[in-house]
Chain A
């Protein structure tokens, strides 16, 4: 049988059987990983961002060790690549891309948006980022440095956006509702509507 022409379901079943037989991953372990992956969503990252905005100690932990900061919020990180967090400031805006493939901090943001894996996004993010951001509705002033973080290897990166003005005294829960997927990739910035 030509493996390239084999029905994908049969191939998948064969791989699952081999993984179990070779004690690499049991059916239960695979099911658990699928469940964990499906449960992840940008709400997790948003909760981390909101806590960082309201708790300086947590923010310091998040910037030092994103994996520990995610675990502190109950996100299972075992067996996953380390998470790094990039802070946006008055002078610096971060934008995350994976030009080689589709590295994405799925544990804290869930599945990537459809365009994240597109050749157009991956190419333009490292070559024409400011013009591309304008197309996403985001204007980065010329005096703000734009750093494009190309995830290539063992880390996964998320952006800690700036807390928007006009949110003094807001609870972490209310703040978290302001934070969307794109804000943690650096495509957009959170705003008070």
Chain B
């Protein structure tokens, strides 16, 4: 599955850190939030697996944009956050 630019996605509302040691590249403040795929940045070995020498798993990495007003209760007219996220953290929105 390759997500096209403009695809709406949701970051999984998941907390692997509650299940044991992990190396997470998805900021907590984005979890459960909806964003839009800006572009596919390439495919890379999943750092969450690499950190534990787990078998190599190549995953698509995307640049995903989130309106800042959706992330925080503060007033954020014209601000957005653009973040690299691995496909394993994204679900259809």
Contacts and interface: CB of A to CB of B under 8 A. Distances in A.
A153 B80 contact: no
Nearest to A145: B78
Interface stretch (A1-9, A17-25, A124-132, A175-183): A124-132
Contacts, number: 72
30 contacts: A82-B42, A84-B41, A99-B29, A100-B25, A100-B27, A126-B71, A127-B68, A127-B72, A127-B74, A130-B79, A143-B78, A144-B78, A145-B80, A146-B80, A147-B65, A147-B79, A147-B80, A147-B81, A147-B82, A148-B79, A150-B27, A150-B81, A152-B27, A152-B84, A153-B25, A153-B47, A153-B61, A153-B85, A155-B61, A155-B84
A153 B78 contact: no
A28 interface: no
10 A-B pairs with least C-beta separation: A153-B84, A154-B44, A150-B83, A146-B79, A153-B25, A149-B82, A145-B78, A152-B25, A148-B81, A152-B84
Given A127-B71, A150-B82, A154-B61, 8 more contacts: A126-B81, A127-B72, A146-B78, A147-B79, A148-B80, A150-B84, A152-B84, A154-B41
Contacts of A127: 68, 71-72, 74
Interface in A111-160: 126-130, 142-155
Contact of A152 (B72, B79, B85): B85
Interface of B: 24-27, 29, 41-42, 44, 47, 61, 65, 68, 71-72, 74, 77-86
